[in-house]
Structure 1
């Protein structure tokens, strides 16, 4: 059987696409992403790893909210240049079997709602799933894969649960998702070998035109097919990053230069294994907290104590505790895009290094291969990694989707022939 044709929406740097391509069972028709560093990174990966010669054309740098141009093409746009549009690439492929992707999650995340004075109710990103709907409706794939954060399960921007709006939206264009989203669709990627506790909602929708018992098949997917891809044990942080060379600090004693602290990084042929700059105050705190954990004293493992420490050292209060040392003997805590702003919640467990994790360490926690290169600044790289779907989980999900497609296609054929 040939490969399934897929379109990736809100593609980011390509974590989800990466996993699907690793299976060898899927053909990349097109991807859509509006942030330039992510676009450049995805293009580079498709060209250098997957041999996609026309990746610069297939990765559409565009805003999905401009759907007419997205489908038909746009020309000489000041920000987005020109493209023949999605219709062109779908026509070349012949059809679309699967659409994958997930709208930006900031408006659904609990952390985002805590930080926003209006609880994110006025954020336009609450309704970006409607852009996803329009693409699915236009190309009528057999199924879709919609990924997002657990916060969407409790998000109610206009008083109506966002899950209800999403379910009704997909139903209105002829697709079913599983009835009990909370029970079936919440997945922890650490169960699939990713060295990170990262829960995500994975919604799989099936086209009603298949004329099969969709709910029965979806429950079988979530209860049998996908769980069969789980790993036998959890992978720890130390297993993921422990073999990388240490980055030991060099502190310049010149008072005028104390604001910038550099690090000594041994010769390393692995890209992006270079820590960000930290000031002397933060390095002192990082060392203290990591040593406290390593020694077994654990005086600062309590969130209240960490909040008090933050207030004492920084001089201001915070609604959430800012510091966290990653535990070497457990999967990492969830890597989020906020990492690009600071690394206070991603402190390396080795007190002698007194730093937050490097881009490459963050990438490994997200299960990106070491040959995956991020195009852009250090901040861009952290942001891309934090927003990505872990490729290892994406691969196992893609393998499960391949099995699901086989069941759906066989079931639809039997119904049709019967």
Structure 2
């Protein structure tokens, strides 16, 4: 059986590589990630689910910008310890593809709105350069570069980021589709993800391995990948069968934390986050408004006005959003770790925001992926991940190019 070796860069907790590992034709040689909670979860997953006994060696926790050390190894680092490096780990094995996507905050529209300088000076704008150094060193047949739609309009230093990327990819000896917006901007809800989530999926092909690259890539985006589209799924499909978590008459304190909702559910990571009585009442009001058909609080203006009436504060964007049973969820973001006001469970009886398990399901992580970090870290890594359901289909489609 033919197997394709790959490495995962900016691996996070492994959403992108998860779909590839489900395909028997793909073999993960290594993964690189610098955030400790994400590494711990990825290693745990590789050991518990994929029986990878050497996962702690295969997953390199390191700063990708220190690229030469990443290749050749490092020792006695205060933050990252010691490792033999990627060169030694790969040991001259052939590498068919590299997958990954640099942190997207600097490209995201939301990130640019929050930053006074539009994130033009954010170092994360240039992490693709480190990614391409790895591509240049190991020369895979192809690479996958995933990011947010905002990268199509980002201009760090006043230069269109897609122009920078295309130029450097060409210099590396690879070619990508000419019109990224037309071909590479994908709606993941068309691939079994119960969520409104658009992402840019860039496929780079090595020039000396392929001919008629533009024709191949157009066929990939227009014919091969669309073969794996499926009927859209909604919030009900994803989370309706999970146990209900009802508000308590009186708050309880367990393990040093306060809880406002029932804790009896026997599903891993399905613990409700704490909500004060004000928020519980708001959630109930908003859910009942939709359930009754009144729909007084569904417009942005009415939600902003309600927020002002309740808090005395003003906001340029509405803070509240109730998920709809019969529609895909709004995008699950990393920002979910800060609050859940824009991801309110649609059941008025429960009057709460979504749990880590519900966020994971909306991102299409299997229930046997157990998240082992703090609640905040779990939300963050889930929001940053590529939905495994999509990556599984991406892997299938990439076989046509490999």
TM-score (norm 1): 0.93
Whether the aligned pair in 1 keeps the contact of 2:101 and 2:147 (CA below 8 Å) is: yes
Alignment deviations for residues 175-230 of structure 1 (CA, whole Å, 9 cap, x no partner):
00000000000111110111111000000000011141111100000000001110
Whether the aligned pair in 2 keeps the contact of 1:286 and 1:354 (CA below 8 Å) is: yes
Alignment deviations for residues 343-372 of structure 1 (CA, whole Å, 9 cap, x no partner):
000000001111000000000000000000
- Return the match for 2:249 from 251, 261, 264: 251
Q: Report the equivalent of 1:330.
A: 327
Alpha carbons of structure 1 residues 279 and 107: separation in structure 2 relative to 1, 3 Å: same
Alignment deviations for residues 41-98 of structure 1 (CA, whole Å, 9 cap, x no partner):
0001111111111000000000000001000000111100111111112216x12110
Whether the aligned pair in 2 keeps the contact of 1:322 and 1:345 (CA below 8 Å) is: yes
Q: How far 1:291 sits from its partner (Å)?
A: 0.7
Q: Report the equivalent of 1:413.
A: none
> Matched residues in 2 for 1:235 and 1:276: separation?
25
Alignment deviations for residues 256-282 of structure 1 (CA, whole Å, 9 cap, x no partner):
xxx9552113341x2000110011111
Q: Report the equivalent of 2:19.
A: 19
- Return the match for 1:390 from 369, 387, 390: 387
> Matched residues in 2 for 1:156 and 1:97: separation?
31
Q: Report the equivalent of 1:187.
A: 186
What RMSD, in angstroms, separates the aligned Cα atoms of the two structures? Answer: 1.3
Give yes or no for the alignment of 1:197 onto 2:192.
no
SS at match of 1:144: strand
Q: Report the equivalent of 2:236.
A: 238
SS at match of 1:252: strand
Q: Report the equivalent of 2:131.
A: 132
Q: How far 1:309 sits from its partner (Å)?
A: 1.2
SS at match of 1:330: coil
- Return the match for 1:299 from 284, 296, 309: 296
Alignment deviations for residues 113-162 of structure 1 (CA, whole Å, 9 cap, x no partner):
11111111111101110010100000000000000001101111112111
Q: Report the equivalent of 1:163.
A: 162
Moved over 3 A (4+): none
Whether the aligned pair in 1 keeps the contact of 2:260 and 2:276 (CA below 8 Å) is: no
Alpha carbons of structure 1 residues 253 and 380: separation in structure 2 relative to 1, 3 Å: closer
> Matched residues in 1 for 2:69 and 2:314: separation?
47
SS at match of 1:117: coil
Whether the aligned pair in 2 keeps the contact of 1:246 and 1:266 (CA below 8 Å) is: no
User: How many residue pairs end up in the alignment?
Assistant: 398
Whether the aligned pair in 1 keeps the contact of 2:259 and 2:272 (CA below 8 Å) is: no
